[in-house]
Amino acid sequence: MSSLLKITDLHVSVDEKPILKGVSLEIRQGEIHALMGPNGSGKSTLAYTLVGHPKYEVTSGMIEIDGVPLNDLDPCERARLGMFLAFQYPVTIPGVKVADFLRHAVTNIRNPARKEGESLIPMRDFRKELKDRMEELGMDVEFARRYLNEGFSGGEKKRMEILQLAMLQPKFAILDETDSGLDSDAVRVVSEGLRKLAGPQMGVLIITHHERLLEYNVPQFTHVILAGRIVETGDASLAHELHNHGYAAVRQRHPAEAAEEQEHQKVAPKAVAVAH
């Protein structure tokens, strides 16, 4: 049976400021969902909340995987249950080699009951697997020896996120603007990479402003978020329409949320930065 990520009436605040105001969403393994919306509408907030960023406080509502509530779990426990976020701004971890980091991560994810200090997956198998995945993504295997994201270009960082996705094979992958800030070649590599990875075993939520990622990975569902609520859900053609015509029509169809959005931006112009 395929797994289900279920989000029910989710309310989230950052520094006591409400950002999400009742988001409900169901994603099954094997499905591709797109989440679109103007800046500051709460897309990244949803992404961070799902993986358990401590700054994002769930004030009400529920997140579950196959009926197991995630609300009180830390990011590590959520990851071990199959949640993955490709970060919009991956951080640098100086001195930690990509290969060492990934070997720890892969061991923990594949053996969720592992305690600290217990042995890691065999080096030989791991090396081969890593090398294969890197080649598939067109990455120089030298990257395995570099320090995690240190001195990486924007494109290299995003590719590193996709490599992690490939190695960890989560049940649910959230891609937070993985295609932003990339040149068109890099977008193609990332898009193709994702297409290879997303299969019946993975549910994908793609957060994007662009269409390119969605051309390679056609969503069955497109959700539009405005002022912290999902106001519309459609198919791939909705994403196409938003890309071509922007959000003016959506705002017209949902004047209450549009007004709230304006209010919100007046009161707290910095909320956009926080939501990153």
Partner 1 sequence: MTTDVPVLDDEIGVGDYQYGFHDPTDKYVFKSRRGLDRDIVHQISEMKSEPMWMREFRLEALDLFYSKPMPTWGGDMSELDFQNMFYFVKASQGQEKSWDDVPDDIRKTYDRLGIPEAEKKYLAGVKAQYESEVVYGSLQEDLAKQGVIFTDTDSAVRDYPDLVREYFGTVIPSADNKFAALNSAVWSGGSFIYVPKGVKIEFPLQAYFRINTQNMGQFERTLIIVDEGASVHYVEGCTAPTYSSDSLHSAVVEILVKRGGRCRYTTIQNWSNNVYNLVTKRAKAYGDSLMEWVDGNLGSKLTMKYPAIYLMEPGARGETLSIAFAGKGQHQDAGAKMVHCAPYTSSRVISKSISKDGGRAGYRGLVKATHDAHHCKSNVVCDALILDSHSRSDTYPYIEVNHDNLTIEHEASVSKIAEEQLLYLMSRGMSETEASAMIVTGFIEPLVKELPMEYAVEMNRLIELQMEGSVG
For partner 1, the binding residues (CB under 8 A) are 51-55, 74-76, 78-80, 83-85, 87, 90-91, 93-96, 100-101, 104-105, 108-109, 112, 116-117, 147-148, 164, 168
Is beta strand 203-207 parallel, antiparallel or unpaired with respect to 32-36?
Answer: parallel
Bridge partners (DSSP) listed for residue 148: 93
Q: What are phi and psi of 275, to 5 degrees?
A: -70, -15
- Shortest Cβ 202–partner 1 spacing (Å): 16
Residue nearer to partner 1 on the CB measure, 24 or 92: 92
The number of beta carbons lying within 10 Å of the beta carbon of residue 168 is 17
Q: Which is nearer to partner 1, 84 or 221 (CB)?
A: 84
- Return d(Cα 43, Cα 175) in angstroms, integer: 11
Length of the chain: 276
* Shorter beta-carbon distance to partner 1: residue 104 or 243: 104
Residue number, 58 or 105, with CB nearest to partner 1: 105
How many whole angstroms separate alpha carbon 126 and alpha carbon 138?
Answer: 18
Contact between 275 and 42 (Cβ < 8 Å): yes
198 and 189 Cβ atoms separated by less than 8 Å: no
Q: CB of 161: closest distance to partner 1 in angstroms?
A: 10
Name the residue nearer to partner 1 (CB basis): 169 or 265: 169
Smallest separation (angstroms) from partner 1 to the CB of 226: 27
25 vs 51, beta carbon nearer partner 1: 51
**Residue 124, φ and ψ in degrees, nearest 5:** -65, -50
Least distance (Å) between residue 241 CB and partner 1: 33
Give min distance, CB of 120 to partner 1, in A. Answer: 11
Work out how close the CB of 104 gets to partner 1 at its nearest, in angstroms, rounded to a whole number: 6
CA-CA distance, 34 to 198, in Å (whole number)? 13
